Amino acid sequence: MTEMTTDPTLIILVLAAGTLSVRLLGVVIGQGLPTEGAWARALNALPGCLIVSLVSVILASGGRQEWIAGAIALGVAIPTRSLPLTMIAGIAAIWTLRHFGIAA
């Protein structure tokens, strides 16, 4: 059998070129996205829709701890209307509940 050897420098250069290509392509494609109209509104709403869908799946398949953490996150989201604070509260809540075995 022949042994395949690859220079790590070559691998790093190929991966770097691939990463740079993806980033540049993102910029080029991003410049072509609509800034107004129905498509622009849909694309602006997309991040929120993705978060809602992920949280919905977690809650649907989760137990008591996930529902309590979700309620805590909702309790932060309503008065603050801040996505970062809501995410921090939800993550801190689920970590605390799981780490200390509360409502397991």
Q: What is the pLDDT of residues 46-65, one digit of tens each?
A: 888 888 898 899 999 999 99
Q: Are 93 and 72 in contact (CB under 8 A)?
A: yes
Residue 4 predicted with pLDDT over 70: no
Cα gap 93→96, rounded to integer Å: 5
pLDDT of residue 2: 62
pLDDT of residue 79: 97
Give which of 52, 54, 51, 58 is closest to 94, Cα–Cα: 58
Q: How confident is the model at residue 39 (pLDDT cuts 50, 70, 90)?
A: confident
Residue 40 predicted with pLDDT over 90: no
Record the tokens describing residue 80, joined without a space: 């603050």
In the chain, the percentage of residues whose pLDDT exceeds 90 is 62
Q: What is the pLDDT of residues 9-23, one digit of tens each?
A: 999 999 999 999 999
Q: Are 72 and 90 in contact (CB under 8 A)?
A: yes
User: Across the chain, how many H-helices and E-strands are there?
Assistant: 4, 0
In the chain, the percentage of residues whose pLDDT exceeds 70 is 95
Single-letter amino acid code for the residue at 21:
S
Mention every residue, 6+ apart, whose C-beta is less than 8 A from residue 104.
Answer: 63, 64, 65, 97, 98
Cα gap 71→90, rounded to integer Å: 8
